[in-house]
Structure 1
Amino acid sequence: MLITSTELNSILNDPNIIIADTRSFKEYSEGHIPGAVNLDLFAFHWIDTTKQGIENFNNQSKNLLSFLGVTPEKKVIFYDSVSGMLAARGVWMLHYFSHQNVSMLDGGFTKWKKENLPIETKLNGFKPSLFSGKINPEIISGFEYIRENLDNVKIIDVRSSGEYDGSVIRAAQSGHIPNSINIDWNQNIKEDGTFKNNDELSKMYDFPKDSEIVTYCQGAYRAANTFLALKKLGFKNVRVYLGSWGEWGNKLELPVEK
């Protein structure tokens, strides 16, 4: 799921790649990887995981990926400032629609720039397609699934310790989902913005490889980054809780721990 800057630089002219810059339009317009289009994924928050909510999310995501021009033969590469949460969200999203040919640029634009690789400022337009992915329900979770499986799954809260312990309040309720453990997603990344190696990550995620894991944060962006870290380590059964704390913390009937 990761591609190095050297690897990406060697395939820049391949007509079958789509490069999506997930940073803000301002950052994109100041300089980006040649051929990249700008897709600010932060605009697509989703905190409704009722049956209807998931259906709406599926439809919106399909429209978004059609706009991006994804077709079965395309290799899609998402990048961020570093190996961050926005690019990770893009990778998770395509996996959710069973499009496996997708990667995140390890180290993001910061590393690309530092290595003096080519940069352009001209704006690139989208070449829309009709995207029709097959949903993989095994890598997504809604609030009901978690509520029913609180004692059966390993829940990783990837937010800051303040959000986890309730001292930072970002919803009607503060605290965390019962039984969840706190491993801040920032710990997945080295100082240079690339992902830590597997030895370092394994020390943080020291669980049996067959564990069923659900990751969550506030809006399922940081949680997508930890999804990638766990997949990198070979965990097979990982879900992202799409609604995350933005949903759970605002549903007063759901249990909370501090």
Structure 2
Amino acid sequence: MEKIPLVVSTEWLEQRLDDPKLRIIDATAFMDIPRDGGQTSILSGKPSYEQGHISGAVHIDLLNELSDPESSLPFTVPPRDYFCKKMTELGIGDGTYTVIYDQGALVENPVVAAYWASRLAWQMHYEGYENIAILDGGLPKWKQEGRPLTTVPGNYPSTVCTGQRRTELLASKEDVKRAMNDDNVILINSLSPEDFKGTTDAYPRKGHIPSSVNVFFGDHADQQTQKMHADAALRQPFEKIGALDLDKKVITYCGGGLAATWTALILNTLGQTNVAVYDGSLNEWISDPTCPLVMGN
């Protein structure tokens, strides 16, 4: 099967909607951040999917269906058998190619329409799935362009997956500890500059992991169209910190392993393939008082 790009356009996808080998996943969820500083909650995107989605798409709930049910942290990778069983039941596996989209990250402001899609794409790559793309601009861009929607649920025949887990794509807490003192590894914090500096109340312990540098995930796409910026603009912040040096390894992290996957995907599109995601990210790091944090730049 012909290898597909990591990111595809709305036009590219619409031209292939009738392809029997195509699998489309709506990975929408919504992050509700109270204005009064209360606890953030994750809302299912299933009701939004039922109101209208791209023809053929099935909906997957990343938090409740594809995260480790035994973990104390949200959005951690589940056992391989658990993940693959769900995907093969949905018909996603050998002999198919997959396009993933979402409708944005936040209830009030999407920020970027690939936040959830990139997380699922990363999990699939980690488990050895191939030919996976995310939809540039997601469903917001698809709607803006007047492309067709349906309320008919997607349904694909079950299949199998014979790929192997790619352990090099995931970084552990111990990997990050070693990276803090390794000039050959670049740690990237994908959160906002304010979260990075520790000037917000987003986390019980403030600041960032020592030696890490900040490249905000929300700067990779146009806020109006949700379309990714051109490669030249995407390259600038990463070139500045040396993250596109192919002799370097890059580890991305964020709050809970979501935005970090978007950063990893952007790096992959720019040719940097030696990228791992710290799956536990700050949720795990700050829960261990022996793990250091620094404030400011």
TM-score normalised to structure 1 length:
0.90
Higher relative contact order (CA 8 A, sep 6+): 1
In structure 1, distance between residues paired with 2:200 and 2:86: 32
**Deviation by residue 1:43-78 (Cα, 9 ceiling, x = unmatched):** 4456969xxx86x44343223323332222110110
Q: 1:58 to 1:253 in 2, by over 3 A?
A: farther
C-alpha RMSD of the superposition: 2.1
1:122-181 CA distances to partner (integer Å, 9 max, x unpaired)?
223464434343011121101011112212211110011222122334444221111111
Is the CA contact 2:126–2:166 (under 8 Å) kept in the aligned structure 1?
Answer: yes
More helix by share: 1
Name 2:284's counterpart in structure 1: 247
Q: Is the 8 A contact 1:209 1:234 kept in 2?
A: no
Q: 1:209 aligns with which of 237, 245, 266?
A: 245
Q: Which runs of 5+ in 2 are unaligned?
A: 1-5, 29-44, 104-111
- Secondary structure of the structure 2 residue equivalent to 1:205: helix
Aligned to 2:83: 61
Summarize the alignment of residues 187-226 of structure 1 with structure 2, pairs less than 5 Å apart.
187-191=219-223, 192-206=225-239, 207=242, 208-210=244-246, 211-226=248-263
Q: Distance in 2 between matches of 1:79 and 1:126?
A: 17
Question: Among the aligned pairs, what percent are the same residue?
Answer: 27
Within a 5 Å distance, the mapping from 1:92-171 to structure 2 comes to 92-125=122-155, 127-152=157-182, 153-171=185-203
Q: Distance in 2 between matches of 1:48 and 1:182?
A: 27
Specify the SS of the correspondent of 1:148: helix
Please name the residue that 2:99 is paired with: 77
Aligned-partner Cα distance in 2 for 1:18–1:190: 26
2:277 is paired with a residue whose SS is: strand
Letter aligned with residue 92 of structure 2? V
Secondary structure at the counterpart of residue 70 of structure 1: coil
Q: Deviations over 1:1-58 (max 9, x none)?
A: 0111111111101111110001101211111101111113244456969xxx86x443
Verify: 1:91 aligned to 2:127, yes or no.
no
Looking at structure 2, the residues matched to 150 and 68 of structure 1 have their Cα atoms a distance apart, in angstroms, of 40
Tell me if the contact between 1:154 and 1:214 (Cα under 8 Å) persists in the aligned partners: yes
Task: Kindly report which structure 2 residues correspond to 1:1-80, keeping only aligned pairs within 5 A, or say none.
Answer: 1-23=6-28, 24-43=45-64, 44-45=66-67, 56-80=78-102
Amino acid of the residue matched to residue 136 of structure 2? D
Deviates most, 132-141 or 223-232: 132-141
Name structure 1 gaps, 5 residues minimum: none
1:74-100 per-residue CA deviation (whole Å, 9 max, x = no partner) reads 101100125421001111112112222
Give a deviation string over 1:201-242, Cα, whole Å, max 9, x none: 111111242121111111111111011110111112111111
Q: Does 1:238 align with 2:275?
A: yes
